[in-house]
Amino acid sequence: MSFERRTDSGLVVATLGLVLGFSPILAEGAQSEAQVRGKQIYLEGMSPSGGDMTAIVGTGGVELPASAVPCSSCHGPDGLGRPEGGVIPTNIRWNELTKSYGHVHENGRRHPAFDEGSLARVLRTGLDPAGNRLDQAMPLYTMSEEDMADLLAYLRQLEADRDPGVEDDQVQVATLLPLRGPQGKLGQAMAQAMHGYFEDVNNLGGVFGRRVELLVVPFAATAEATLESLRLALEREGVFALVGAYTAGLDQPVLDLLREEGIPLIGPFTLDPGDEISDNAAFYMYPGFVEQTRALTDAALDEGGGEAAALMIVGPEGGQVDRLVEAVQDQARARKAEAPLAVRYPRGEFEAEVIAERVAAAESDALFFLGHQASLERLLPALAAQQASPRLYLLSSFVPRPLFDAPPAFHYRIFLAYPTLGSDVSPVGRAAYAQLARDHGLPPDHLQGQIAAYAAAKLLVEGLRRAGRDLNRLGLVDGLEALYAYETGLTPPLTYGPNRRIGARGAHVVAVDLLKKSYQPVGGWQELR
């Protein structure tokens, strides 16, 4: 098994790190068994030996499992503490706790430096080394002597416990790409674009003095083998984050694996990221089918006069169409519009004339069609025969061929949603890409893939900068969550947040001009309301 890195000479070569079963990144700073156990207690509030571990919370003395309020929930995986809900947890890194001159807190509380004994006491009783009571927001923990010793062993080492892939002078990230087969040229072009951008960043000093190194994990012969290759890379090669990956067809398994390993995913190249990804560290750039469908619903309602518009949905039963139908209905409900009428048909049993009669009878202003293009091409003349020409709304990914042969009655009445258009690339972004292409010999084809990979790499670097010098995954996630209308120059503006993991939530809407046989953008980027 081999993964690919770029050498200083610019060549892509195979590394035998996994074959030899050795990774220098993981070999350094290995934890003792006590520290490994203590880390579990710190992060999860659970005893590795299965012993009882509880927490007493608040002035009322509510007793909870320690797993409900582990140390990391307030102080963070890095021990630095992050304000939340008006509470400001302290920095509990060992160097901070054991400062020889002690501590003076903002509320005037003073105490000498901690040692292991006084730290164990404060965890159990809430009393600092001077006997002062800590804020009631600090839980009191009960655990065995063995578990306490393991926790203290880990706290001594906490600040040196870096996330995988992070060194003083570099951070290693990975991507997952097809390098052979039908999509091989696309994957190679994406890898080349990211390598080139990171090389430029590194030549300017990197990010806080760290070089960004890219490990390319190639697709294997099967989906199962590809996931296993990715799993081995994450376990053995020291990977901080996954960036610019091609996950189409593997989205959910990849998300499940990354969630299991606690690894962020930045800007993958995929047709549809789905709409249930806010509970993990995946940051997508482009909208999926649900977001595009909601944007189309807004466009249909705006064109039809708002809440009085009569919408209709036609599509096959089952599969992803179910959630797209729900998306139209939910968006209409949010806009206080009339509930759309949904007409579903068994897959493979599309009857164009029957559907056309129902559409004509409903007298709907707008029709969402969520079936195959072959069915659509049968429906359009059937609608024309019924003298029905509602505005037609489609997802571009469902319509791979031009619609210029549609009946004339549908001139400028067919609208498609696109996740991105060439107009998203600003003049500055276009010039930057052209420079990157010249400097690194990027191929002239697969431009959409290259742009997506380049934008993902830029998004990662912005997140690394916002995470700061003391780099960890939580800081990267926090940094990306703080982005608002971030301009990559290559995509629509990207905005993220704790409950938002798709940067561009909306779509471009284009109309089909049957006379000029062209697609005409309507109103620019349409952000979801």
Reported in sequence order, the residue ranges of 339-461 that DSSP labels E, i.e. its strands, are: 341-345, 366-369, 391-395, 414-418
294-304: per-residue pLDDT in tens? Answer: 999 999 998 87
Q: Which one, of 15, 4, 9, 437, lies nearest residue 179 by Cα?
A: 4
**Terminal Cα-to-Cα distance of the chain (whole angstroms):** 47
pLDDT at 27 over 50: no
Q: Which two tokens stand for residue 267?
A: 């800007």
What pLDDT, on a 0 to 100 scale, did the predictor assign at position 341? 92
Give the pLDDT band (50/70/90) at residue 145.
very high
What pLDDT, on a 0 to 100 scale, did the predictor assign at position 503? 93
Report the distance separating Cα 86 and Cα 72, nearest Å.
17
- Residue 245's SS3 state is coil
- Where are the alpha helices (H) located in 91-213, listed in sequence order? 94-97, 116-125, 145-157, 184-203
203-214: per-residue pLDDT in tens? Answer: 999 999 999 999
In sequence order, what are the residues at sequence separation of 6 or more whose Cβ sits closer than 8 angstroms to the Cβ of residue 458?
197, 488, 490
Alpha-carbon distances of 67 from 63, 223, 309, rounded to whole Å? 12, 35, 50
Q: How many CB atoms lie within 10 A of CB 485?
A: 10
Q: Which two tokens stand for residue 479?
A: 């940094």
Residue pair 458/433 in contact (Cβ under 8 Å)? The answer is no
What pLDDT, on a 0 to 100 scale, did the predictor assign at position 84? 64
Q: How many CB atoms lie within 10 A of CB 439?
A: 12
Give kind and range of the element (H or E) at residue 79. Answer: none
The whole-model pTM stands at 0.78
Report the distance separating Cα 214 and Cα 170, nearest Å.
10
**Top mean-pLDDT range of 92-106, 253-267, 298-312, 383-397:** 383-397
Question: How much is the average pLDDT of 180-184?
Answer: 93
Question: How much is the average pLDDT of 472-484?
Answer: 92
Report the distance separating Cα 411 and Cα 433, nearest Å.
36
Half-sphere exposure of 40 (CA within 13 A, CB side): 14
Residue pair 277/500 in contact (Cβ under 8 Å)? The answer is no
What pLDDT, on a 0 to 100 scale, did the predictor assign at position 348? 87
Question: How much is the average pLDDT of 490-500?
Answer: 92
Question: How much is the average pLDDT of 306-330?
Answer: 88
Residue pair 180/220 in contact (Cβ under 8 Å)? The answer is no
- Dihedral angle computed from the Cα positions of residues 188, 192, 194 and 198, in that order, rounded to the nearest 10 degrees: 150
Report the distance separating Cα 56 and Cα 505, nearest Å.
42
Report the distance separating Cα 493 and Cα 514, nearest Å.
31
Q: How do strand 311-316 and strand 103-104 relate by DSSP bridges?
A: unpaired
Question: How much is the average pLDDT of 350-363?
Answer: 93
What pLDDT, on a 0 to 100 scale, did the predictor assign at position 9? 33
Alpha-carbon distances of 502 from 135, 367, 456, 494, rounded to whole Å? 38, 27, 13, 8
What pLDDT, on a 0 to 100 scale, did the predictor assign at position 86? 61
pLDDT at 19 over 50: no
What pLDDT, on a 0 to 100 scale, did the predictor assign at position 77? 80
Burial class (CB in 10 A: 0-12, 13-18, 19+), 169: exposed
Q: Which two tokens stand for residue 142?
A: 């009960």
What pLDDT, on a 0 to 100 scale, did the predictor assign at position 3? 56
Give the pLDDT band (50/70/90) at residue 279.
low
Report the distance separating Cα 139 and Cα 235, nearest Å.
34
Give the pLDDT band (50/70/90) at residue 11.
very low
Residue pair 38/79 in contact (Cβ under 8 Å)? The answer is no
What pLDDT, on a 0 to 100 scale, did the predictor assign at position 2? 54
Q: How many CB atoms lie within 10 A of CB 87?
A: 13
What pLDDT, on a 0 to 100 scale, did the predictor assign at position 1? 52
pLDDT at 501 over 80: yes
Q: How many CB atoms lie within 10 A of CB 145?
A: 8
Burial class (CB in 10 A: 0-12, 13-18, 19+), 18: middle
What pLDDT, on a 0 to 100 scale, did the predictor assign at position 340? 92
Q: Which one, of 397, 361, 365, lies nearest residue 299 by Cα?
A: 365
What pLDDT, on a 0 to 100 scale, did the predictor assign at position 499? 86
* pLDDT-above-90 percentage for the chain: 65
pLDDT at 191 over 50: yes
Residue pair 168/159 in contact (Cβ under 8 Å)? The answer is no
Question: How much is the average pLDDT of 492-501?
Answer: 91
Report the distance separating Cα 527 and Cα 529, nearest Å.
6
What pLDDT, on a 0 to 100 scale, did the predictor assign at position 235? 87
Residue pair 213/195 in contact (Cβ under 8 Å)? The answer is no
Residue pair 417/507 in contact (Cβ under 8 Å)? The answer is yes
pLDDT at 318 over 70: yes
Single-letter amino acid, residue 78: D
- Residue 391's SS3 state is strand
Average pLDDT for the chain: 88
Q: For the chain, give the number of residues.
A: 529
417-466: per-residue pLDDT in tens? Answer: 999 999 999 999 999 999 999 999 999 999 999 999 999 999 999 999 99
What pLDDT, on a 0 to 100 scale, did the predictor assign at position 83? 66
What pLDDT, on a 0 to 100 scale, did the predictor assign at position 23? 36
Residue pair 118/132 in contact (Cβ under 8 Å)? The answer is no
Q: Tell me the backbone φ, ψ of residue 453, rounded to 5 degrees.
A: -65, -40
What pLDDT, on a 0 to 100 scale, did the predictor assign at position 196? 97
Q: Any idea which of 164-168, 175-179, 437-441, 457-461 has the lowest mean pLDDT?
A: 164-168
Q: Tell me the backbone φ, ψ of residue 6, rounded to 5 degrees.
A: -100, 130
Q: Which one, of 385, 330, 394, 325, lies nearest residue 359 by Cα?
A: 385
